[in-house]
Amino acid sequence: MGKLIVLEGIDGSGKSTQFRNLCGFFKDREIDFRPLSFPQYGKPSAALLEMYLKGAFGGEAGDVNAYAASTFFAVDRLASFLQDWRPYYEAGGLLVTDRYTTSNAIHQGAKLPEAQREAFFNWLYDFEFRLLELPRPDLVIYLDLPAPEALRRIASRREKGGAGGADIHERDAAYLESCARCGVMAAEYYGWRRVPCLDGENPRPEGAVFEEILSILKESELL
C-alpha cells in the first residue's frame, strides 16, 4: 500500500498554506505524489455536508449531532477514494491531504462533552478505517493554534476578501474554541504530531512552521 500524510488543524491554522508549501516542495524535487483536499466542494458526494455547513439543517453546528454530521464528510471521502485515488494508493503512491477523517475528530468531537469524546474518537476511526475501509494515515501533523488567534486570522482573511461567507463552524466563536480544545485532545489520543503555530503569544513565521513539518517527515522516514 501507499503512504498517506495528513495536514490538520482548526480553521485559521494555516493548513492550506502549509499544504501548498509541502506540495511545492515535492514538485520542486520531482517526488511523485498526489495532492488531496477535503471536503470536495462542488461534487455530488459533498452535497449533504455543504447543506450542513450552509445551515440547511439548522443554523448552529450542534443542530446536527456529531455522529450524523461525521457521516456526511465520511461519504465524501469514500467517494473520492473509490473514484479517484484508490489505484494510486494501492500501487504504493504517496498522498498528501489537506484535512481527512481527522477533521471529524476535531469539528464533530467538539460538539460532545469531554467525557464522551474518547468513545467518539474510537467510533470514528473504526467507522472510517475498518467499516468503510478508507486508508489509515501514516502521519498526521496537527497545526496547533489557540482559538483567539484563529478567530483573529479568520476575521482578517474575511476583511481582505480572501474567503467567502463564513459557514456555521467559522462564525461561532464558542464552537471554534471548543474545536481548539478538542483538537489537542484528539492529537494526544491518536498520537498526532503537534506543530505549534505560536511562539509564546506571537505567530511563528510560516517558514519556521514548514521547516518543523519537514523535520517530522524526515524523522518519520516519509521524506
pLDDT along the chain (223 residues), means of 10: 96 93 98 97 97 95 96 98 98 98 97 97 98 98 92 80 66 87 96 96 95 97 91
Q: Are strands 139-144 and 94-98 parallel, antiparallel or unpaired?
A: unpaired
CA 79/CA 101 separation, integer angstroms: 13
- For position 223, what pLDDT does the model report? 85
Collapse the DSSP code of 112 into the 3-class scheme (helix H, G, I; strand E, B; otherwise coil) and give the result: coil
- For position 63, what pLDDT does the model report? 95
Considering the entire predicted model, what is its pTM? 0.92
- For position 52, what pLDDT does the model report? 96
CA 84/CA 120 separation, integer angstroms: 28
Closest Cα partner for 209 from 41, 19, 4?
Answer: 19
Collapse the DSSP code of 1 into the 3-class scheme (helix H, G, I; strand E, B; otherwise coil) and give the result: coil
CA 41/CA 10 separation, integer angstroms: 18
Amino acid in position 91 = A
CB-count exposure of residue 177 (10 Å: 0-12, 13-18, 19+): middle
- For position 162, what pLDDT does the model report? 57
Distance between terminal CA atoms of the chain? 17
- CATH architecture of the domain covering 3-219: 3-Layer(aba) Sandwich (3.40)
The residues, any chain, with a CB within 8 Å of residue 169's CB and separated by 6 or more, are: 11, 53, 61, 107, 175, 176, 179
- For position 163, what pLDDT does the model report? 52
- For position 164, what pLDDT does the model report? 53
- For position 84, what pLDDT does the model report? 97
Q: Considering only CA atoms, give the Rg of the chain.
A: 17
- For position 172, what pLDDT does the model report? 80
Q: Domain coordinates of the chain in residue numbers?
A: 3-219
Grid cell digits, residue 207? 517558514
CA 173/CA 179 separation, integer angstroms: 10
